[in-house]
A and B are shown apart, each in its own frame.
Chain A
Amino acid sequence: MIGFMLAIIRRDLLLVARQPAEIINPLVFFVLVIAMFPLGISPEASLLSQTAAGVIWVAAMLATLLSLELLFKLDHDDGSLEQLLLAPHPSWCLVLAKVFVHWLVSGLPLILISPLIAMMLFLPSEAISTLMLSLLLGTPTLSLLGAIGAALVTGVRGGGMLLTLLILPLYVPVIIFGASSVAAAAQGMPVDGYMALLAAMFVFALMITPWAAGSALKL
């Protein structure tokens, strides 16, 4: 089972390596969207630093959503998804492996570039470590929840927009707690409660979503 998952991870990473655009595009999108806010609203430091937490989190969510559609689509289109589902291993292994690669490719770059973004939006430097930790706990949760939606709309026409519609209600708690934790840290308040809740949501998603997405893939 572990060998199966490692093989899938290696295969998907190889596919990504052949198309570096899969890593670069969500990252560039993330930075561009963040850059739109000072341009569109106001470049004043006081205003930006107040909204920075929410803006960064919403942009991270949008960037994750963009790359989710392709999670199962490419494999479904050339038929390899069916072959993988026929393997003698439970379908949640497949889902977990693919979600892990998706996170490595879309979530991890966001976390690594977030200090730079925080400076662009004048987020107080005390909050940067909280920002990175909340993104570290939150982006895997976003990838996991997104996998359910991606599995449900595989093979459906107009799936991208439908995917967004299906997953955004599920993302609401993650966004609320993620953004609030960074906002609280920016004001110097303790964030242990928020981190605990984010970690709990991550563990919950880790337990439930591979199974749910696996059942949805077999439909």
Chain B
Amino acid sequence: MTQSSWRMPRWFHQMGSPKWFYNFGGLLQPWFAMAAFVLLTVGVVWGLAFAPADYQQGNSFRIMYVHVPAAILSQSVFLGMAVAGAIGLIWKMKIAFMVARSCIAIGATFTIIALVTGAVWGKPTWGAYWVWDARLTSTLVLLFLYAGVMALNQAISERQIAGKATAILAIVGTINIPIIKYSVEWWNTLHQSSSFTLTAKPSMPSEMYLPLLLMVLGSYFLFALIVLIRTRAQILQTQNGASWLMQHQDVSGAQ
């Protein structure tokens, strides 16, 4: 008796086709841009201007609306990069390596924003720009990991090998992510524990955490938008000369 084994759904392999990814990504791009713009604008204005002031920290807590989304994204992007790299290694998809490559710069930027805004927030509340507690140190290590992946990607001249090498490094570096996430639980840190989780109701009033939610969602859309733009740019670079691209309206002009 033969049994057909479960296969990955068709759309999964479809995404590995440069032509399909380019066209579908081109369709999604304006929508992601609009969503990111709307969510981030509403979130920023609401959070920085209209949300109620914190009874302990006054108005300085408002930097949370920039710091928390940046921190969340910095970790998610590294995970996304590692997952994309793993998909590329296992299913040998070039698109997956391109997606992973697109994640590096934006992830490093989010990490820098998180560290800098955190330092600015720390000065009025803790009295110090920097402490060597577990969460800050492991986020700094995350920045170094991004720098290492970026350096390795640029150092290897052959694109395919560079993609595989950065995928391996990203997968190895993923060990840092649970360390960052659970550092506030495992150690006595100065950094506060999570303001909200996926399952429990947050301890903040809704006027405070709704703009935060909008900022996090908007940042995710921004990240997706940038990955789409960069991956499509890499497709243009590497597929130069492919027949589907030469006849594409983006290259030859609308007929």
Q: Residues of A at under 8 Å CB distance from B?
A: 148, 152-153, 156-159, 162, 165-166, 168-170, 172-173, 208, 212, 215-216, 219
Contact = CB atoms under 8 A, between A and B. Distances in A.
B144 A158 contact: no
B190 interface: no
Contacts of A215: 89, 168
B91 to A, nearest CB: 15
Contacts of A159: 155
B173 interface: yes
A172 B141 contact: yes
B19 interface: no
Contacts of B175: 170
Interface string B179-214: 100000000000000000000000000000000000
Given A166-B169, A169-B176, A219-B164, A157 B145 contact: no
B41 interface: no
A219 to B, nearest CB: 5
B144 A169 contact: yes
Contacts of A153: 152, 155
B148 A169 contact: yes
B172 interface: yes
A162 B145 CA distance: 12
B165 A165 contact: no
A166 B148 contact: yes
B152 A166 contact: yes
Contacts of A166: 148, 151-152, 169
Contacts of B171: 212
A158 B141 contact: no
Contacts of B169: 148, 152, 166
A158 B89 CA distance: 26
Contacts, number: 51
Nearest to A156: B155
B165 A173 contact: no
B156 interface: yes
A173 B175 CA distance: 11
Given A152-B168, A216-B165, A219-B164, A169 B155 contact: no
Contacts of B89: 215
Contacts of A148: 168-169, 172
Contacts of A170: 172-173, 175
Nearest to A145: B172
B137 interface: yes
B147 interface: yes
Nearest to A166: B148
A168 B152 contact: no
B155 A168 contact: no
B161 interface: yes
B144 to A, nearest CB: 4
The 3 closest A-B pairs by CB, nearest first: A169-B144, A166-B148, A169-B145
Contact of B165 (A157, A169, A208, A219): A219
22 contacts: A148-B168, A148-B172, A152-B165, A152-B168, A156-B156, A157-B155, A159-B155, A162-B152, A165-B144, A165-B147, A166-B151, A169-B142, A169-B148, A170-B172, A170-B173, A173-B179, A212-B168, A212-B171, A215-B89, A216-B165, A219-B165, A219-B168
B139 to A, nearest CB: 11
Given A152-B168, A165-B144, 4 more contacts: A152-B165, A169-B145, A212-B172, A219-B168
Most buried by A among B141, B147, B171: B141
Interface in B21-35: none
B168 A158 contact: no
Interface string B53-96: 00000000000000000000000000000000000010000000
Interface in B123-173: 137, 141-142, 144-145, 147-148, 151-152, 155-156, 161, 164-165, 168-169, 171-173
Nearest to A159: B155
A170 B173 CA distance: 7
